[in-house]
Amino acid sequence: MNQKQKNLIFGLIILGFVLIWYCFFLFHKIDLTTADLGRHLKNGELILKDFSFDSEILKTNFYSYTESEYSTLNHHWLSGVIFFIVFKAFGFNGLHLFFIALSLFTFWLFFKIAEDEIGVEIASVLSLFIIPLIAERVEVRPEIFSYLFSGLFLISLLAWRKDKLKFRFLLFLPLLQLFWVNLHILSILGPILIGTFLTESLILTSKRKDFSKLAIIFVLVILASLINPFGLKGSLAIFEVLREYGYRLVENQSVWFLEKLGFVINPNFLLFKMVFLALVTSIVVAIKVSKKDFPLVNLFLAAGFSLAGFLALRNFTIFGLFSLPLIAGSIKIITDKKPLPEQISFDFFSFPFKVLLVIIGFVFLTWGLITHSQEISLSKMGMGLLDNNTQAIGFFKQNQLSGPIFNNYDVGGYLIFYLFPQERVFVDNRPEAYSVDFFQKEYIPLQEQADKWQTGEEQYGFKTIFFSHRDATPWGQSFLIDRVKDSEWAPVYFDDFIVIFLKRTSENLEVIEKYEIPLNYFNIQ
């Protein structure tokens, strides 16, 4: 076996460890009681039954009985269709496996760029460090398509710039954009990615020859972005989503804001800062070593995705994905210029260096296991739904319970999937689909204030409360305590996810007599 074959085997082994490491995060069962997935599946089901660009499901709240006419854009409608088709054919296990396969392929796209720059060994060790950050978002969501298409755009543009891809293949990017704009709101990244290369070609004389060709692709991608049920508004939907909500989401907050609150503990906060520091340091050193060889595109992308990571927790994944090839690109420039004195330099393919890589990789892996032990718990690993995840809805259906239902924000998608159209929800996990006044003057006060709750009961005639008791909001917890103490309501069901209360009416009397849970079960003051 020659040295080249040995290097290949070593590279494949360490890459295998990297993919297994990522799978520790990906192979975690779905909690449908708090996920958006149920609503996406229902979107797909209904759209496939009767698709029309004027459909209410695309442009209104639709699933709620409180603000059903409120205008909102179902900008990820095509993701729901794809998810539902896979689910219909293969169930939750198949859908989960589909998502995992997309995630692994997406990671490979970014890894491949890094590997081409610095080799499989260093790229793999760097990946061990960054993967927990990439795995910040491993729930089955439409955003996986944005990660995938970002990787396809980036690897295509880089390959073309290095003369490894003919220009005609870039003409597929507008076609990808046509799908992307209907799959997820981050489709704006398509024009942005091409725009960074276009800007570089405008600034640098050496890249000026690329300008006209990139301009053609840029215009075609912009035009493709307009082909969606909402036109220009749909292609710019990201700016609508960035508006003020009446309900503050943790995933939309910055690291600094969440750390200041003190109650959110996430090991990726520290990891984000470490990766950001590594990214900045590598870029600074690379520019110092060879300013003329440093690609402006890398600087633009690093600045943009770093800013995105600072602004919102939900951007950690895409920041991590782009950081991998960007750091690799800087390392490539540094090592090519050999900034180290000759007497202390070393051969990247020597046995001692491979041992060093293994040691560094082991350190990263151990640190990741310790800091992310909760996220990679073996008890939660597997495919499909969490155990007993559907028992609550089974109880509801078996006992022929009915609404109007008062539910909390998190459980809305779960109820939509299993009960719509027989029942509509009070609220679901789309803050953009409800007005600020709804959250601030109705949803939250109903849970905090006794008089508001009484008014709400009279207005809506609630018969059932279907609530995720893991709701960590202060109003959610106080509401549950108040309802347990409320003689007008009887707790009849409780599991690891859900608690169900029934209004003490003649209609509910039989179920209450059979299943009422005694007050001392809840251990409240």
Does residue 263 register a pLDDT over 60?
no
Residues 367 and 221 in one domain: no
User: What band does 368 get if pLDDT is binned at 50, 70 and 90?
Assistant: low
Does residue 344 register a pLDDT over 80?
no
SS3 174: helix
Residues 280 and 348 in one domain: yes
Q: Is 88 domain-assigned?
A: no
Residues 414 and 358 in one domain: no
Q: Is 472 domain-assigned?
A: yes
Give the integer Cα–Cα distance in Å for 487 and 83.
Answer: 43
Using the 3D structure, point to which of 345, 370, 386 is the last residue of a domain: 386
Domain of residue 232, residue span = 142-243
Looking at residue 138, its pLDDT comes to 86
**More confident call, 164 vs 373:** 164
Residues 225 and 326 in one domain: no
Q: Is 233 domain-assigned?
A: yes
pLDDT tens digit sequence for 24-81: 889 889 989 988 899 999 999 999 988 777 777 788 888 999 988 888 888 899 999 9
Using the 3D structure, point to which of 209, 243, 277 is the last residue of a domain: 243
Contact 77, 46 (CB under 8 A): no
Looking at residue 98, its pLDDT comes to 96
Looking at residue 7, its pLDDT comes to 65
Give the integer Cα–Cα distance in Å for 435 and 335.
Answer: 54
Residues 152 and 206 in one domain: yes
Looking at residue 210, its pLDDT comes to 82
Q: Is 60 domain-assigned?
A: no
pLDDT tens digit sequence for 441-479: 888 999 988 889 999 888 999 999 999 988 878 888 888
Q: Which helix (H) or strand (E) holds 407?
A: strand 405-407
Using the 3D structure, point to which of 386, 411, 441 is the last residue of a domain: 386
Give the integer Cα–Cα distance in Å for 371 and 369.
Answer: 6
Residues 281 and 369 in one domain: yes
C-alpha closest to that of 447 among 415, 489, 403, 479: 479
pTM of the model: 0.90
Q: Where are the beta strands (DSSP E) in 413-522?
A: 464-468, 489-494, 498-503
Residues 427 and 445 in one domain: yes
Token pair for 329: 């690109």
Backbone angles phi, psi at 341, to 5 degrees: -55, 145
Q: Is 305 domain-assigned?
A: yes
Q: Is 86 domain-assigned?
A: no
Looking at residue 224, its pLDDT comes to 95
Contact 272, 323 (CB under 8 A): no
Give the integer Cα–Cα distance in Å for 77 and 45.
Answer: 11
pLDDT tens digit sequence for 488-524: 999 999 998 999 999 999 889 989 889 888 888 777 6
SS3 405: strand
Residues 200 and 254 in one domain: no
Q: How many domains does the chain have?
A: 3
Give the integer Cα–Cα distance in Å for 486 and 210.
Answer: 70
Residues 128 and 157 in one domain: no
Give the integer Cα–Cα distance in Å for 336 and 330.
Answer: 10
Q: Is 101 domain-assigned?
A: no
Residues 506 and 481 in one domain: yes
Residues 466 and 372 in one domain: no
Q: Is 484 left (phi over 0), alpha (psi -120 to 50) or beta?
A: alpha
Residues 125 and 11 in one domain: yes
Does residue 338 register a pLDDT over 70?
no
Q: Is 53 domain-assigned?
A: no
CA distances to 381, 427, 439 from 444, rounded to whole Å, are 34, 11, 6
Greatest mean pLDDT among 45-54, 273-282, 283-292: 273-282
Averaged pLDDT, 421-437? 88
Does residue 341 register a pLDDT over 60?
no
